[in-house]
Amino acid sequence: MKHQDRLAADAVIEFHPEAFSVKGKKLMGRNSAGNGFLEAYFRYSTDTKKRIWVEDRAHAVEFTNLAKGCRSTKPIHIYGKERGHLIEEAGTIFHAAPGLAQHAFQRSLHGADRWSICGVTHTLLSDRVMDAIAAMVTAPVKEWDAVVCTSSVARSVVEGVFEAECERLRERLGAKKFPRPLFEIIPLGVHCDRFGSNQIQKNEARNRFGIAEDEIAVLFVGRLSFHAKAHPAAMDMAVANAARNRKVVIVEYGIFPNEPIAKAFEETARALAPGIRRIVLDGSNRDIANEAWACADVFCSLSDNHQETFGLTPVEAMAAGLPVVVSDWNGYRDTVRDGIDGFRIRTTAPHSDFGTDLVRQYASGVLNYDYYCGILSQFVGVDIDEATKAFEALFASPELRQKMGEAGRARAMSEFDWSVVYPKYEKLWKELAERRRAASSGNPAGKVASPWPARANPFSVFASFPSVLIDQHSRIYSTNRSHASHIDTCRKLASFSLVNPLLPTTNVIAEILSKIPAAGIVISELFPIVPLEQASNLIQILAWCAKIGAVRVDPARESATQ
């Protein structure tokens, strides 16, 4: 069967617990997104098997437990470093980050068309992520690979960095050919069946948190960080302005990175919204998540940070049936329809001429990442008057709140439920398989002489080291140590334990050596008469036999460098 006739179109999930875990005090949006994706994989994958690639076998145990928790009964196939080449059985490896370079180099050792690589964007601002995107230009990334961009703005950033690196190489090296992966927009998803509440549940949640029946609760969910998520000033001022004589309470459900930031939030609220009551719920307590959503009348997220690329919480709020007030920023403009599901509030930021000094300070290490993204956000504005009008409209009309909440929930279910989103991944993986098939049949992309120069074969790079190179043209001779007892004695020594997993049994090695005549033999003449399964490793076997003195190599064919 030809290689292009057996190309698979499923995926192996590269699994590391940190990328898919929602445990702990440092919960990030990518953790929630990864966890949701993994559950969607268990619930909606059409593959007959569950396939994962792990660096640590202990991670496979955690994956298995997660599968059981999601009631998945399909068999699990585990791939590790030693079985990486078997990714071809599935067709694609899914990597929960946007950079594909490292995987592309690893694949190149087997053949560039053996499988596809699929990544996904989360935060794009950090130097590590930016470097990973730029590295794809010179790595052996192919047209049958893909980066899933979770929003249109995320794709514009990825494409911008990729094209800027192409232009740099055009100017520096005169380069002309830049294979480009597919940059596909697929949003993050939510499990809508986890959201929504009836009136009894709403009343119970409000009673638990001490919210009166005549109070309007404005909910924020997410990291409570003014430098890395959303500065609270715009929300505080707009809610205070819109409240007038109404009773309004702000509910913040999230995690503060540290105590000084918690105090900064409290100080900001006292100064800018002195008449507004504030309730802070511990975001690390996942048991109260449903009640946090249920207690609210309006959801607000006025994100102003360049770290944000999609924004999962507005979609969760829509799934919960809440009207939303969000900034017209990043992926929010892909998810929230202004005037239908809620309101998108105008944002401002400096022209691109601004920021050069900040980039220099970040690149040189004067600013660390937290300070860098925090300072950038200080110059992003959210129109407070526009936000005030949005809150006024929602505060004044329960009917508008209900109408927008219902519209948002319908949109979340039809566009962002994982049952709708996950099949888009499978459709993409099938498209990548078709791209590989077309490339393989038209212009095969097999192995090249040095597919990964920085990880080249050491017996090639260091070929000048030995006096004699052993190859198929070398003549070898048996010695008085060419027998099973000597081979077995050596193999039992701790000093030879490293090589044992790479060699056949002692009896097989002895059988191979028994076929060497007294006059010696050219190695190529041994290939037809050794066990078929050992032929491909014959040079390796004989090289080790030379190490223990079981064979002698004719020194007549000296290294070409001598």
The least confident of 54-58, 160-164, 347-351 is 54-58
| Chain Cα centroid distance, residue 363 | 24
Provide φ and ψ at 7, rounded to 5°.
-70, 125
Give 20's pLDDT tier (boundaries 50, 70, 90).
Answer: confident
For residue 451, pLDDT over 60 is answered with yes
Beta bridge partners of 284: none
For residue 49, pLDDT over 50 is answered with yes
Residue linked to tokens 């944000």: 308
pLDDT at residue 485, rounded to an integer:
96
Beta-carbon contacts of 524 under 8 Å, excluding residues fewer than 6 positions away, are 472, 473
The one-letter amino acid at 310? F
Question: Which one is predicted more confidently, 513 or 86?
Answer: 513
Instruction: Convert the pLDDT of each residue in 364-399 to its tens digit.
Output: 999 999 999 999 999 999 999 999 999 999 999 999
Residues of the chain with CATH 3.40.50.2000: 192-416
**Quick one: average pLDDT of 289-297?**
97
For residue 349, pLDDT over 70 is answered with yes
What tokens were used for 468?
């004699």
Q: Give me the DSSP letters along 354-368.
A: TTHHHHHHHHTTSS-
34 SS3 class: helix
- Mean pLDDT of the chain, nearest integer: 92
CB-based contact 189:416 (threshold 8 Å): yes
The least confident of 1-15, 389-403, 444-458 is 1-15
The one-letter amino acid at 493? L
CA pair distance 197, 207, nearest whole angstrom: 15
Question: Residue 41: exposed, middle, or buried by beta-carbon count in 10 A (0-12, 13-18, 19+)?
Answer: buried
Instruction: Convert the pLDDT of each residue in 219-236 to its tens digit.
Output: 999 999 999 999 999 999
What tokens were used for 59?
């991670």
pLDDT at residue 516, rounded to an integer:
95
- How far apart are the two ends of the chain, measured CA to CA in Å? 45
Most confident range (mean pLDDT) of 6-10, 29-33, 35-39 is 35-39
Say what percent of the chain tops pLDDT 90. 77
* Residue 215 DSSP one-character state: P
Of the CA atoms within 13 Å of residue 136, those in its CB half-sphere come to: 30
pLDDT at residue 561, rounded to an integer:
43
The least confident of 69-73, 285-289, 443-447 is 443-447
**Quick one: average pLDDT of 187-205?**
96
pLDDT at residue 534, rounded to an integer:
84
Instruction: Convert the pLDDT of each residue in 240-281 to its tens digit.
Output: 999 998 999 999 999 999 999 999 999 999 999 999 999 999
CA pair distance 304, 295, nearest whole angstrom: 25
For residue 310, pLDDT over 90 is answered with yes
CA pair distance 268, 237, nearest whole angstrom: 10
Q: Are strands 324-327 and 298-301 parallel, antiparallel or unpaired?
A: parallel
Of the CA atoms within 13 Å of residue 109, those in its CB half-sphere come to: 15
Cα radius of gyration rounded to whole Å, the chain:
30
Instruction: Convert the pLDDT of each residue in 396-409 to its tens digit.
Output: 999 999 999 999 99
For residue 7, pLDDT over 80 is answered with no
CA pair distance 344, 327, nearest whole angstrom: 5
For residue 473, pLDDT over 50 is answered with yes
For residue 2, pLDDT over 70 is answered with no
Instruction: Convert the pLDDT of each residue in 69-120 to its tens digit.
Output: 888 888 898 888 777 778 888 899 999 999 999 999 999 988 999 999 999 9
Beta bridge partners of 345: 327
Where is 10: in which H helix or E strand? strand 10-14
CB-based contact 183:118 (threshold 8 Å): no
CB-based contact 215:249 (threshold 8 Å): yes
* Residue 71 DSSP one-character state: T
Question: Which one is predicted more confidently, 284 or 84?
Answer: 284
pLDDT at residue 147, rounded to an integer:
98
Q: At what angle do helices 29-44 and 312-319 cross, to 10 degrees?
A: 60
Taking every pair of C-alpha atoms in the chain, what is the biggest distance, in angstroms? 106
Give 560's pLDDT tier (boundaries 50, 70, 90).
Answer: very low
The CATH number that domain 192-416 falls under is: 3.40.50.2000
| Chain Cα centroid distance, residue 490 | 46
